[in-house]
Structure 1
Amino acid sequence: MQNRIILSSILMLGFTILLNGQISKKKNILLICVDDLRPELGSFGASYIKSPNIDKLVNEGRAFQNHYVNAPSCGPSRYTLLTGIYGPPKNDALFLRSKKIKKEPNVMHPSMPEWFRQNGYTTVSVGKVSHHPGGRGGKDWNDNNVIEMPNAWDKHIMPVTEWQHPRGTMHGLANGEIRIKAGDMDVFQTVEGPDTIYPDGHITNEAIKQLESLTSNNEKPFFLAVGIIKPHLPFGAPKKYFNLYADVKLPDISSQEKPKGISTWHESGEFMKYNRWGKNPNEDKEFAIEVRKHYAACVSYADAQVGRILSKLKETGADKNTIIVLWGDHGWNLGEHAIWGKHNLFEEGLHSPLIISYPGIKNKGKSNFGIVETVDVFPTLCDLTTIETPSFVKGKSLKPQLKKYNKKGHIAVSYNTKANTIRTGKYRLIAHKNRNFELYNHYKDPYEINNLAKTQPKTVMKLKKILDNRL
């Protein structure tokens, strides 16, 4: 009898220590970045898209339906995510920061992963998290002497397999095809085979491997960032994903006409430089549908990778103590305003999905419709992990919107090399550096067709002042 009492006491003590350890341990972070992903998801209103895994994440967390990136291009957008501040407008934004750190190491603020690393986290990146997959520079993006984010990661990994190097994987098509000259590479492709026939299958395999390693060592919380490349150009996905859209009727493209007057319209150079078999989606309706279906296939392929990662997280049991963030690095025009690509300041170029989920979230599955922006992610993660929020970050914590799904948002600002823009609930103002303006009333003109700048100069000046104060 006495032995049973002693044994029960020991077991109870052990359980109490384990429970206290779980309670006191900081929450893990799983950040999933998806390249060129506009809100073309079932849970964001695109009912024809097959995205069951991301939709499930929405049902278990909070979708921010009006999230806007701070720049419509991969490099500068990821700069804002990973630093919490606005930065240079070009793709070399993080490399410029890296050069400054090398010259003056104590001048630059720490990046988000570096901040969490300083606060006791193990930080690992897999795939395309910063602008270059694997986070290195050099000719083939694999030079260990040219680090995109110094001091940020304990490990930054890019499995290259048959694509030879990270540069090869970035624009890689099936079976190790590497882009040498864009004009010789098809703009879209679909091939029979497993998910590993394209690079994202290997990125996901490595992410799962890292999850297994990180969750087997409970000494420190982890910050694992995974970057999925598709649906970035060229569009390529295993045929089983393309087949999902074989008989699907796509909705019409809204506002297909090229804008008249001043705008951030461009000639879709990134898209047009690939082999298009002499076709132009602005002139060929059937080709436009084909392009959109290949984009959709890439979204479903990326969704499948997200599903595999989340399944592994649950399998390890770490999902009970992990904050999950899924973020699209910018929007992508699929024919709206006669643009096929990003790099513009219209709604479609800046609107992207943001989803945050964690154990115990209230009113899970309820979306927030307030305006939020990418720089909000850094302070939000600090808030959710009870780590001090650094004073230099420019965003606002989204914890109020996570606690109360119908909480209002704020404003979002964005920029490219030629203009800056501000998005409020009612208006979008685009302020060009040549002193021209675009003003759109989203209550009456959600597709940004009618420029009101000349007829509403007071509204323009009011918004311009707010924009200038932010940037």
Structure 2
Amino acid sequence: MSNNVAKKCLAVGLVLAFLPLVYGDQPQPNVLFIMVDDLRPELGCYASPYVQSPNIDALAERGLVFDRAYCQQAHCRPSRYSLLSGLRPDSAGIWTNKDVRPALADTPLLPGYFKEHGYYCVGIGKIAHNGEEVASCWSEPHSMPANYRFEYRTRAGRKLVEQLQRQARAEGIADPFDGIPNNIRRGMPYERLNVADNELADGQIADKAIDVLKTMPRRPFFLGLGFLRPHLPFVAPQKYWDHYNPDQLPSIDSTASHDGIPQLSAHNSRELRRQYQGVPAEGNFPDALNGNLWHGYLASVSYVDAQIGRVLDALHQLGLAENTIVVIAGDHGFSLGEIGLWGKSTNFDSATRTTLVIYSPRMKAGGKTTDSLVELVGLYPTLCDLTHIPQPHHLEGKSFARLLDDPTLEISNCAISQYPRGENMGRSIRTDRYRLVEWRRRSSGELVGRELYDHDNDPSETTNLQDSVELQGTIRALSDKLQEVTPHLRVGN
């Protein structure tokens, strides 16, 4: 091949490589993708009367609020890998925080796919799961805050552990960490600190994000941020606790319970009971503990909201906002004492319904809210559509990009979630009115429990209607629909 021909081929290759970077007369939009751990839709833009979330609310005034967005499993790792792969947990092969991802070895994850299409991709914080980000997804090494694992322990808990370790060493114990219970290691489930925002991990994530935005190369970027709060323990600087008067926060009815649910459906708030001090091992939580947990959760939300605000301000100051799609998503919801439940790890609405706010520079429905049912597994194809990147063929979720122009559309008539309990898997179908949950043996498909909730009359899902004679036809139809949506999981009755 002559030098001239080689030069022409190189020139054509460069042109083709950058064709995805523009469409029409518009430059390819950037993507700021923000994941927030355990962020239920408890924000001002979701009509909460007491939460202070001015920065997310300000984005919502320009973007679209998804009032009925559902995760595919209310647990960190499976939810995030479902979203990032565009596959449901059963197809991804990830159902717990202990599962690895061999099933996804050949699956392009969301940021990696954008990287393949010309984007400069940077990841900061908890995007997939702690310490296991996929290096090939990023254009430069993914970064986590220093000592981020300490964020899952309060400082008081850490000091107690250090004291116990010193005592153990003095007594000649070889492994001074051995034998210290997890709830001692982590301390109380909430903590207020007189510290600057960036003395905690989320402030450091915001600092890093701002530095990265200032030095981004002049090409489309995908910046993924993963904030750790409001995940337990609920730790935030004192000033965010001061945003709230505890006497004006919701009261929790610690005696409330579900009526007629299978034992598989709920849990014993084990994340709190097993891992943190001051939480009773059994029975109802005291009113004071309920109040402090609510207060700590909201303080953590306001703290993260402030860090998101700092990043969005930098986006504006750097002249990037007018061409940047912004996504703010919770990886799942979080039960805050509803019907005696604290935490995630269920198929109930309080755990599976999550926060989702999207702004796109060319959207037509800015400042609106949609009640269309959408799934987080649909975020991958949605971002492909919004950036005019072709969708890969493996995706199982539906794009809901059209809602940003017309929020009245119905993208799907259901949302599917699931949660495992040992040998059993509970799969849920949420429609406009009902939620049906079927619990089946994972090995045989044998039905071992069923739940039906009527959201028109029971939005808190307190009463299981699976024995209602009048609703047996509804149950059969929903069961058939559940198997239709997940045909590879089809089982008998």
TM-score (norm 1): 0.85
The residue identity in structure 1 corresponding to 2:116 is: Q
Question: How far 1:153 sits from its partner (Å)?
Answer: 1.6
1:257 aligns with 2:256: yes
Amino-acid identity (%): 34
The whole-number CA distance in structure 2 between the counterparts of 1:56 and 1:394 is: 32
The equivalent residue for 2:431 is 424
Q: Is the 8 A contact 1:332 1:342 kept in 2?
A: yes
The residue identity in structure 2 corresponding to 1:412 is: A
Alignment CA distance shift 1:452-1:310 (3 Å) = same
Greater alpha carbon shift after TM alignment, 460-469 vs 445-454: 460-469
The residue identity in structure 2 corresponding to 1:86 is: R
Superimposed CA distance per residue, residues 39-97 of structure 1 (whole angstroms, 9 cap, x where no aligned partner): 1101112110010000001101000011011100000000111011112221245x323
The equivalent residue for 2:57 is 55
Q: Match for 2:149 among 164, 167, 171?
A: 167
Residue ranges of structure 2 left out of the alignment (5+ in a row): 1-21, 162-176, 442-446, 487-493
The whole-number CA distance in structure 2 between the counterparts of 1:84 and 1:429 is: 23
TM-score (norm 2): 0.81
Question: How far 1:273 sits from its partner (Å)?
Answer: 2.2
Question: How far 1:350 sits from its partner (Å)?
Answer: 0.5
Alignment CA distance shift 1:22-1:463 (3 Å) = closer
Provide the secondary structure at the position in 2 that maps to 1:416: strand
Provide the secondary structure at the position in 2 that maps to 1:189: strand
The equivalent residue for 1:412 is 415
The residue identity in structure 2 corresponding to 1:43 is: C
Question: How far 1:316 sits from its partner (Å)?
Answer: 1.0
Residue ranges of structure 1 left out of the alignment (5+ in a row): 1-19, 102-107, 137-147
Question: How far 1:430 sits from its partner (Å)?
Answer: 0.6
Question: How far 1:159 sits from its partner (Å)?
Answer: 3.8
Q: Is the 8 A contact 1:345 1:416 kept in 2?
A: yes
The equivalent residue for 1:467 is 482
The whole-number CA distance in structure 1 between the counterparts of 2:452 and 2:144 is: 45
Q: Is the 8 A contact 1:282 1:288 kept in 2?
A: no
1:154 aligns with 2:139: yes
The equivalent residue for 1:444 is 457
Superimposed CA distance per residue, residues 205-244 of structure 1 (whole angstroms, 9 cap, x where no aligned partner): 1111111121xx21x2111100000000111000000011
Alignment CA distance shift 1:326-1:248 (3 Å) = farther
Provide the secondary structure at the position in 1 that maps to 2:34: strand
Provide the secondary structure at the position in 2 that maps to 1:257: coil
The whole-number CA distance in structure 1 between the counterparts of 2:24 and 2:246 is: 49
The whole-number CA distance in structure 1 between the counterparts of 2:384 and 2:287 is: 47
The equivalent residue for 2:346 is 344
The residue identity in structure 2 corresponding to 1:447 is: S
Count the aligned residue pairs: 424
Q: Is the 8 A contact 2:154 2:189 kept in 1?
A: no
Alignment CA distance shift 1:177-1:448 (3 Å) = same
Alignment CA distance shift 1:255-1:413 (3 Å) = farther
The residue identity in structure 1 corresponding to 2:182 is: A
The equivalent residue for 2:240 is 241
The whole-number CA distance in structure 1 between the counterparts of 2:129 and 2:41 is: 20
Question: How far 1:256 sits from its partner (Å)?
Answer: 5.8
Superimposed CA distance per residue, residues 388-431 of structure 1 (whole angstroms, 9 cap, x where no aligned partner): 01121111111221111222242110111131101000110011
Superimposed CA distance per residue, residues 168-224 of structure 1 (whole angstroms, 9 cap, x where no aligned partner): 34x14459949875312111100112102321111111111111121xx21x21111
Q: Which runs of 4 or more aligned residues in structure 1 lie more than 6 Å from their structure 2 counterparts after TM superposition?
A: none
Greater alpha carbon shift after TM alignment, 22-31 vs 394-403: 22-31
Alignment CA distance shift 1:255-1:288 (3 Å) = closer
Question: How far 1:275 sits from its partner (Å)?
Answer: 3.7
Question: How far 1:441 sits from its partner (Å)?
Answer: 1.0
The residue identity in structure 1 corresponding to 2:101 is: L
Alignment CA distance shift 1:340-1:176 (3 Å) = closer
Q: Is the 8 A contact 2:23 2:388 kept in 1?
A: no
Provide the secondary structure at the position in 2 that maps to 1:244: coil
Q: Match for 2:121 among 98, 120, 123?
A: 123
Provide the secondary structure at the position in 2 that maps to 1:224: strand
Superimposed CA distance per residue, residues 16-54 of structure 1 (whole angstroms, 9 cap, x where no aligned partner): xxxx99944311100000001111101112110010000
1:89 aligns with 2:95: yes
Question: How far 1:282 sits from its partner (Å)?
Answer: 2.9
The residue identity in structure 2 corresponding to 1:157 is: H
The whole-number CA distance in structure 1 between the counterparts of 2:359 and 2:339 is: 34
